[in-house]
Amino acid sequence: MSQPPGSGMPPQSGGMSYPPRRSPETGSGLIRKVRQRWRRPKTSPQPTLDALAAFDERSERLRLVDAMPVKKLSEADRRYMLRLIKITVLVCVVGQRIALPLGGFPISLPLVATYAFVVLARLRGGVRYNRVRSELFIASAALILLATYLAGFTDNTSISVNSVLLLLIIYIPWIFCISTQFRELFVPVARFYTQIMLVAATIGVFQLGSQYAGVWVYEDYLLKWLPENFLVQDYNVSYQLAWNDPTTKANAFVFLEPSFLCQYLALALVIALLIRAPAWQPALLGLGMASTLSGTGIILLVISIGLMVIVAPNRIRPAYVLAGAVGLAIVFATPAATILLDRRDETSQQGSSGYIRFVQPYTEVADGLGKEVTRLFVGAGPGSADRLLTSFRSGGDAVVYTIAPKLAFEYGLVAMVVFVAFLMVSVYRGPPIPVLPTAMLIMIFFLSGSLLQPHTVALAWLLTSVWGPPVTVGVSDALAAVMRRDRDQAAV
């Protein structure tokens, strides 16, 4: 069918139409056709080897800008998406202790909010799938399922079906990204997250300060107001300093542990510096971190600021340095300073919080994998880390098996490498801002033990991964191009 003159549309071929795309270099002219369907007819344009050999997601030539005709963005659409993302972030932060009882398998509220966000955002064209991530996720999921199947034959242990299903369900949303026209919403969302954590920091400072002043005794109001079956179990929500010291670390009432509050506050402090928030905000966030009497957030903050000095020194304003000095002076004038300083060498003390978080998981997993050679390839099965290794459930130390060691022990080294690659690609091809992706990876890989923690995984996705641009060219395209080249050479 012919096109009207001056329409700028190429003639249709093979029953498919392709919208024009402007050249990023010249601003005019057609540079390629973008397919609108999943399967290509033989007559449609195919990706060339030269383009795939130089594949780079940062190249606008291979990014999906118009996989489908982009709907004209209205102010109503923008408000809808911004409101939807803010609500989801809020639920993931303040609703992390809440679970919806479903028989004997409660579902975390942040996990429900994540899926609701994907569905509602898709209705407005707010999210699109990322092909590269989809292929990595499918590959890692296939390896995990295969390892689970083989582990049943090679290891005399029971397989936790719930564990492997929860793992796959939690990470399915990571294959989606915000549509290109909504990526500008990152800064308002980042500012909103900082505001949430400013409130949490204020509550945390009140919790610890009022206990030291003797005007308030810690009480878990959420446990008092909600039925126990609506709360997530097996976390140290109320963490006293010692058996003879009733002072309880701050958790802002809604956080599963004081260490989570400390890490979330550190993340908010990094974001506040990156988006150039007023100096009083990082100072308050820092005081909130001190009220948790936890060291994990401090580790995250020190590494992030050090990285910021190297890659984004212009983000550190003199006012921030002054605010940091004032905050440290306040902390050192309180009893919290002595408690925090006493934790400096925890990683070398067996049984301490630092040792069972940063040392013991890796030594135990290495020993467990060495006991049977087959575990190196297929693992010991889903949920086996808590059954076969020293853990709180077996009467030993409360070891925190973070993402990499837990994946390696339960599903083998091959599945672990592919799944970790999926996470790293998703996070680093995420927000248009430096330092934050690295800070988030440090948090989920080393500090929070968050392989099966929906609230932390969901927050990592909402603040990093979801902001990556959708990509259409993936590994399957590269393989198809290689096969076409070999076929053409054989025909010659």
- Give the contacts of 456 (CB within 8 A, at least 6 positions apart): 260, 443, 444, 448, 450
- Predicted confidence at residue 361, as pLDDT, reads 84
With b for 16 or more beta-carbon neighbours within 10 A and e for fewer, the 106-122 pattern comes to bebbbbbbbeebbebbe
pLDDT digits (tens, 9 = 90+) for 427-462: 998 888 899 999 999 999 988 877 889 999 999 999
- Predicted confidence at residue 401, as pLDDT, reads 82
Residue 305: inside a domain, yes or no? Answer: yes
Residue 219: inside a domain, yes or no? Answer: yes
Tell me which residues of the chain have a pLDDT lower than 70.
1-72, 154-157, 337, 341-354, 388-398, 471-482, 492
Residue 46 gets which letter from DSSP?
A: -
- Residue 111: which of 160, 152, 170 has the closest Cα? 170
- Residue 150: which of 367, 460, 419, 412 has the closest Cα? 412
- Predicted confidence at residue 56, as pLDDT, reads 37
Q: Which domain holds residue 247?
A: 188-341
Rg of the chain in Å (alpha carbons): 25
- Predicted confidence at residue 307, as pLDDT, reads 94
Overall domain count for the chain: 1
- Predicted confidence at residue 157, as pLDDT, reads 61
Residue 210: inside a domain, yes or no? Answer: yes
Residue 159: inside a domain, yes or no? Answer: no
Residue 429: inside a domain, yes or no? Answer: no
pLDDT digits (tens, 9 = 90+) for 128-178: 888 889 999 999 999 999 999 888 776 656 778 888 999 999 999 999 999
Residue 108: inside a domain, yes or no? Answer: no
Residue 152: inside a domain, yes or no? Answer: no
pLDDT digits (tens, 9 = 90+) for 34-84: 444 444 455 544 444 343 334 333 333 333 333 444 556 788 899 999 999
Residue 168: inside a domain, yes or no? Answer: no
- Other CB atoms within a 10 A radius of the CB of residue 381 amount to 28
* CB contact at 8 A, 441 and 476: no
- Predicted confidence at residue 39, as pLDDT, reads 46
Q: Where would I find the beta strands (DSSP E) of 44-194?
A: 99-100, 107-108, 127-129, 176-178
Single pTM value for the model:
0.81
Q: Report d(CA 245, CA 255) in Å as an integer.
A: 21
